């Protein structure tokens, strides 16, 4: 690459507006290169928001490998009152094809977040505002991004194991992979060591408020992981390097469902970039089998103050890239990740051309 260009790219994206970081693992098994702004003694940590879904999917697949769960188990085992729960599988919850409604478009959610950012909705309130009112479509007959679907998966994992979600993520994923700064945030106190930043989504008049002093992570219904860019790229590198799940589980995780073409039918946290060829979704993974870099999978996350994007490109030497920021307006973590992938593809093709090697894989954008 020039991985020497990382600082320049991140400085341009952050533009002096707040804390941001980017980490890159150029090839499978390599150590991450990481850079952050502004300069500080230790790498900043952020809320990863919906990248947490990748953790949940990996956890569910581990429980399947242990025989405690099956992707074909029906939701009715735990929540028989939900409409068509006997027809909604764990697999469908994981890939958003179960018809479980979301709360992103519900006015009451955003109004209550503004008026009481430190007092989140309960499980029962999330349920009452979404799936207790019925499904968006028949199970298996559509696709719609659903945070409450992952809230249900979180509860299933806890009930099957008798262990809290926070402890499960620590014991089954973070600790085995040596991710010492990755944890599930469950209280305002848990945000104290994160990168400083403000959000206009936490006050009725839109005035910026310190997210670490006011935002309760319980507003993320399915749980929320806090981490660093370097640890999230290590997660992807280890996951797809076979350190956490079996080849069979990884194959199921990366079995992609193509998203609806009508944007009104799909609600992702960030708009799809023009660099997406065929936006799809696996099990806790956004994916694109025909991206400019070949098969790429990962996830975006966004919410008050913090944003994150982490993707793994199989056809670029199994490179992994993550960007995170504490900048609410004008910073796109996904764009930073895609820019880095462009540079990796360009430098790879340049090296191959210098060595006289034909390339027919991922290529830079024209």
Tell me what the mean pLDDT of segment 216-234 comes to.
98
Handedness of CA 337, 257, 74, 145 (dihedral sign): positive
Computed over every residue of the chain, the mean pLDDT equals: 92
What pLDDT sits at residue 353?
A: 45
What pLDDT sits at residue 262?
A: 59
pTM of the complete model beyond 0.85:
yes
Q: What DSSP state is assigned to residue 188?
A: G
Quick: pLDDT tens for 309-341. 999 999 999 999 999 999 999 999 999 999 999
What pLDDT sits at residue 151?
A: 98
Quick: pLDDT tens for 38-92. 999 999 999 999 999 999 999 999 999 999 999 999 999 999 999 999 999 999 9
Tell me what the mean pLDDT of segment 8-15 comes to.
95
CA–CA separation, 72 and 88 (whole Å): 9
Percent of the chain with pLDDT over 70: 91
What pLDDT sits at residue 280?
A: 98
Higher-confidence residue of 209 and 272: namely: 209
Q: Which of 144, 181, 175, 194 is nearest to 238 (CA)?
A: 175
Please list the helix, strand and coil fractions of the chain in percent, rounded to the nearest 5, in that order. Answer: 40, 15, 45
Q: Domain ranges in the chain?
A: 3-354
Tell me what the mean pLDDT of segment 274-287 comes to.
91
Does residue 366 carry a pLDDT above 90? no
What pLDDT sits at residue 275?
A: 76
Structure-block tokens of residue 80:
């028989």
What pLDDT sits at residue 274?
A: 61
What 3-state DSSP class applies to 37? strand
**Length of the chain in residues, anyone?**
366
Handedness of CA 321, 71, 181, 49 (dihedral sign): positive
CA–CA separation, 114 and 243 (whole Å): 41
Residue in the structure block whose two tokens are 């230790």: 42
Does residue 356 carry a pLDDT above 50? no
CATH topology of domain 3-354: Beta-lactamase (3.40.710)
CA–CA separation, 160 and 162 (whole Å): 6
């Amino acid at each position: 690459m020039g991985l020497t260009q990382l600082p320049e790219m991140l400085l341009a994206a952050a533009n002096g507006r707040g804390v941001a970081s980017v980490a890159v693992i150029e090839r499978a098994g390599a150590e991450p290169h990481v850079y952050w702004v502004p300069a500080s003694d230790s790498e900043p940590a952020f809320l990863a928001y919906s990248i947490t879904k990748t953790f949940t999917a990996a956890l569910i697949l581990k429980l399947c490998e242990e025989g405690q769960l099956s992707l074909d188990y029906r939701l009715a085992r735990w929540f028989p009152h939900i409409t068509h729960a006997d027809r909604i599988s764990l697999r469908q919850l994981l890939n958003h094809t179960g018809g479980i409604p979301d709360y992103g478009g519900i006015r009451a959610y955003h109004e209550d977040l503004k008026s009481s950012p430190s007092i989140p909705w309960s499980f029962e309130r999330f349920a009452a505002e979404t799936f207790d009112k019925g499904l968006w479509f028949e199970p298996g007959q559509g696709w719609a991004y659903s945070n409450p679907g992952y809230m249900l998966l979180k509860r299933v994992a806890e009930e099957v194991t008798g262990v809290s979600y926070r402890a499960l993520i620590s014991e089954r994923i973070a600790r085995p992979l040596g991710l010492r700064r990755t944890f599930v945030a469950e209280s305002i106190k848990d945000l104290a060591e994160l990168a400083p930043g403000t959000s206009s989504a936490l006050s009725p008049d839109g005035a910026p408020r310190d997210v670490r002093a006011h935002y309760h992570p319980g507003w993320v219904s399915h749980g929320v992981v806090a981490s660093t860019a370097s640890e999230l790229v290590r997660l992807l590198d280890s996951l797809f390097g076979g350190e956490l799940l079996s080849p069979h589980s990884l194959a199921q995780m990366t079995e992609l469902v193509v998203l609806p073409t009508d944007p009104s039918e799909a609600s992702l946290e960030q708009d799809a970039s023009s660099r997406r060829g065929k936006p799809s979704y696996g099990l806790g993974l956004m994916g694109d089998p025909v991206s400019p870099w070949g098969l790429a999978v990962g996830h975006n996350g966004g919410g008050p103050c913090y944003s994150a994007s982490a993707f793994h490109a199989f056809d670029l030497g199994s490179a992994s890239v993550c960007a995170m920021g504490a900048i609410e307006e004008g910073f796109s973590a996904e764009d930073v990740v895609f820019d880095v992938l462009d540079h990796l593809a360009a430098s790879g093709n340049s090296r191959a051309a210098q060595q006289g090697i034909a390339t027919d894989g991922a290529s830079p954008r024209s």
